[in-house]
Structure 1
Amino acid sequence: MKKILVTGGCGFIGSNFIHVARQFLPDIAIINLDKLTYAGNPSNLRGLEQGSGYRFVAGDICDIDLVSRIFTEEKIDTVVHFAAESHVDRSIEGPAEFIQTNIVGTFNLLEAARKTWLAQPADENRDKRFLHVSTDEVYGSLGATGFFTETTPYDPRSPYSASKASSDHLVSAYFHTYGLPTLITNCSNNYGPYQFPEKLIPLIINNALNGKPLPVYGDGKNVRDWLFVADHCHAILQVLARGRIGETYNIGGNNERQNIEVVHTICDILDEKVGLLASGKPRRELISFVKDRAGHDRRYAIDASKIGNDPGWQPAVTFEEGIRRTIDWYLDNPDWSAAILDGSYREYYQKMYGVKLETVAP
């Protein structure tokens, strides 16, 4: 790898990946292409200077001319494709953006890679990689037992997961039809620093710190396998280095928890670290059960034995350790959360990059 194109590198997982990649692959150049919608925050990458093996490009993967130009001008040899509309609730309210970004955008990247890489002599393509980062939600919902494997039939239940399933199939088709050197990873729920506070864990942390209600869908017993984001990033590096072309790898944290358990854990740790509410009550008193969302899958759980055997990766962070590290990060970075919540981070975008956000933060 000489030049990695990271799409969506200002988002939650993408920005964490860039930090990890810069630490472990300091000689690799990174091109970060991000549309800077509401969940993409350039301040996640403060400290990385343009021209020091890192370049930020404000742009849309749905812009085929821009994507093609980046491939040719930058001589991209590796793609790590994070860019996606990823919030299920938003996909229910407005699915069109999910179709455009997750399907059409992925198609554009595949086309640019195909036309650029496959036009070159075969020996020049030996080390090229196109890694598509996807989700376990494409598999649908599990019962009380069982696990998703790489051969589990797809059964998406929301516009978001359907759009990701579609993009997975496109990536696989480009391998089988054109011989494009693709890899697919399907991960479980990520958590950690820089996560936009519409997702469960940062939402609960922020609300609990500010004495606001803690909304929990349904009975709170929906189960997710929680994966600390740094573990996910290390897994991606392993797949890039040692994964077999054309293969899919499930990445899980081996940390199944009910949503209500996660909320209870956050409340208890915050009570321990910052004290009880001003009323003297524990933060569990803020929990408010709300109407379940449409198509809410009951349980996800990953069988990650394939990636554990070959290329050889295991999660290093337990949920107990990871959730404390996550809470500590949010406690240590109140300005980051405040800028998100009051919308002032949008001014930073425009000042630094001359780009206005296309979606307003909630």
Structure 2
Amino acid sequence: MKLLVTGGAGFIGSHFVKRILRADDVAEVIVLDALTYAGHMENLGEAFLNPKLRFVHGNILDADLVDELMRESTAVVHFAAESHVDRSLFAVGAFLSTNVLGTQTLADAAMRHEIQRFVHVSTDEVYGPLAEGSATEDNPLRPTVPYAASKAASDVVALSYFHTYGVPVCVTRSSNNYGPYQHPEKIIPLFSTRLLRGRPVTLHGQGQHVRNWLHVEDNCAGIELVLRGGTSGEVYNIGGGTDFTGRELTDVLLRMCGAGWDSVTHVPDRRSNDIRYSMVWEKIADSLGYQPTRDFEEGLAETVEWYRRNPDRWAPLMRDSHAPVPNAEIAAPTPEAPRVH
């Protein structure tokens, strides 16, 4: 198998690349990444020692480049996306361009070159908030924020290429991922890096928003199962992590970082902050044998320790001039938007 991985220098993508490179039946892994704020060569690290890895610096909106790389590939796993909710509130166009048009560019090329598998990586946020119960793969898509809307649209676009043209598309939707290498704009690395420096953190509202936390390695295991054995045209929820309110997660991180609640300030809730996400994942368990293996407390402790030991990796990212104020309400658009990664 010759595999094209878009966004392979990002957080989840780089973990997946390292995993799939270990497979004996994978002859080559081509990573396509634009290396904007969330994609970094350092995330791939030792993977560059593997002769099967080929890195291409480029954008998924570059149709000629995408066509050239797709011609050389037998399968594609599509991670590349704008993914931060706060950024999407002031850069809607960038999210729609990358997440929707970028997916369409890839699907077009996959159709022309008769790709054997197209795995489109998505999120539980497309289902929207659920006050109770859990979403199955058949639930309607009810996104409430621009990021989730752009991912829901890209899911529908990708699946339309299966129904209309027969492109062997599968969609995966995971809950919130955590683990090493994640950009410090996301809550776990943001809180960890601030608390480890003795800095305060801010919590939206009363911190009652519920999220499910899944170790990135468990998500990557599920994605590989779908790549190898998924049924074309199907959606697979990848879950099995741990549910926490924002306040509960903050409490765990305070303990692991040696800080107290005097380090926490409550701020007004972010606009359209969904109260709860929840989905079931029996489908991938029953059909493909997926089972998450990482204990949350152990995985989170390892993650915090990685940030403790590697300030040289994340400290330069704190100077990102394009980022919104972390974990705070956004009052107005900014003039410059992030690009595809």
Q: By the TM > 0.5 criterion, same fold? A: yes
| Aligned residue in 1 for 2:101 | 104
Distance in 1 separating the partners of 2:138 and 2:184: 33
Given that 1:140 and 1:154 are in contact with CA atoms closer than 8 Å, whether structure 2 keeps it comes out as yes
Q: SS where residue 169 of structure 1 aligns?
A: helix
Paired residue for 1:218, among 205, 226, 232?
A: 205
Paired residue for 1:140, among 115, 125, 128?
A: 128
Given that 2:2 and 2:29 are in contact with CA atoms closer than 8 Å, whether structure 1 keeps it comes out as yes
By how many angstroms is 1:64 displaced? 0.7
| Aligned residue in 2 for 1:86 | 83
Given that 1:10 and 1:45 are in contact with CA atoms closer than 8 Å, whether structure 2 keeps it comes out as yes
Paired residue for 1:129, among 102, 117, 125?
A: 117
Distance in 2 separating the partners of 1:26 and 1:309: 25
Given that 2:77 and 2:121 are in contact with CA atoms closer than 8 Å, whether structure 1 keeps it comes out as yes
Given that 1:254 and 1:302 are in contact with CA atoms closer than 8 Å, whether structure 2 keeps it comes out as no
Distance in 1 separating the partners of 2:308 and 2:19: 22
Distance in 2 separating the partners of 1:26 and 1:173: 29
Please report the TM-score for the alignment, with normalisation by the length of structure 1.
0.86
* Shift in alpha-carbon separation, 1:254–1:61, aligned structure 2, 3 A: same
Q: SS where residue 295 of structure 1 aligns?
A: coil
Q: 5+ unaligned residues in a row in structure 2: which ranges?
A: 321-336
Given that 2:196 and 2:308 are in contact with CA atoms closer than 8 Å, whether structure 1 keeps it comes out as no
> Matches of residues 237-316 of structure 1 in structure 2 within 5 Å?
237-271=224-258, 282-316=259-293
* Shift in alpha-carbon separation, 1:317–1:49, aligned structure 2, 3 A: closer
By how many angstroms is 1:51 displaced? 7.6
Q: 5+ unaligned residues in a row in structure 1: which ranges?
A: 118-124, 272-281, 344-357
Q: SS where residue 36 of structure 1 aligns?
A: coil
The alignment-based identity, stated in percent, is 45
Distance in 2 separating the partners of 1:336 and 1:283: 26
Distance in 1 separating the partners of 2:141 and 2:154: 12
Distance in 2 separating the partners of 1:25 and 1:98: 36
By how many angstroms is 1:319 displaced? 1.4
Distance in 1 separating the partners of 2:24 and 2:272: 41
> Matches of residues 162-181 of structure 1 in structure 2 within 5 Å?
162-181=149-168
Distance in 1 separating the partners of 2:24 and 2:18: 10
Distance in 1 separating the partners of 2:9 and 2:111: 25
* Shift in alpha-carbon separation, 1:241–1:158, aligned structure 2, 3 A: same
Q: SS where residue 298 of structure 2 aligns?
A: helix
Paired residue for 1:324, among 301, 323, 326?
A: 301
| Aligned residue in 2 for 1:69 | 68
**In structure 1, what residue type is equivalent to 2:80?**
A
* Shift in alpha-carbon separation, 1:294–1:25, aligned structure 2, 3 A: farther
**In structure 2, what residue type is equivalent to 1:64?**
A
Distance in 2 separating the partners of 1:283 and 1:336: 26
* Shift in alpha-carbon separation, 1:56–1:309, aligned structure 2, 3 A: same
**In structure 1, what residue type is equivalent to 2:79?**
F
Deviates more, 1:195-204 or 1:43-52: 43-52
Summarize deviations over 1:83-106 as a string: whole Å, max 9, x none. Answer: 000001100011110010000000
Distance in 1 separating the partners of 2:83 and 2:24: 27
Note the aligned Cα RMSD (angstroms).
1.8
Given that 1:308 and 1:314 are in contact with CA atoms closer than 8 Å, whether structure 2 keeps it comes out as yes
Give the count of matched residue pairs. 325
By how many angstroms is 1:325 displaced? 1.5
Distance in 2 separating the partners of 1:290 and 1:303: 32
Given that 1:189 and 1:225 are in contact with CA atoms closer than 8 Å, whether structure 2 keeps it comes out as yes
**In structure 2, what residue type is equivalent to 1:237?**
E
| Aligned residue in 2 for 1:122 | none
**In structure 1, what residue type is equivalent to 2:155?**
D
* Shift in alpha-carbon separation, 1:110–1:50, aligned structure 2, 3 A: farther
Distance in 2 separating the partners of 1:91 and 1:67: 25
By how many angstroms is 1:211 displaced? 1.5
Distance in 2 separating the partners of 1:227 and 1:42: 24
The structure whose RCO (Cα within 8 Å, separation 6+) is larger is 2
Distance in 1 separating the partners of 2:129 and 2:246: 15
Distance in 2 separating the partners of 1:14 and 1:88: 19
**In structure 2, what residue type is equivalent to 1:52?**
P
By how many angstroms is 1:23 displaced? 2.6
| Aligned residue in 2 for 1:114 | 111
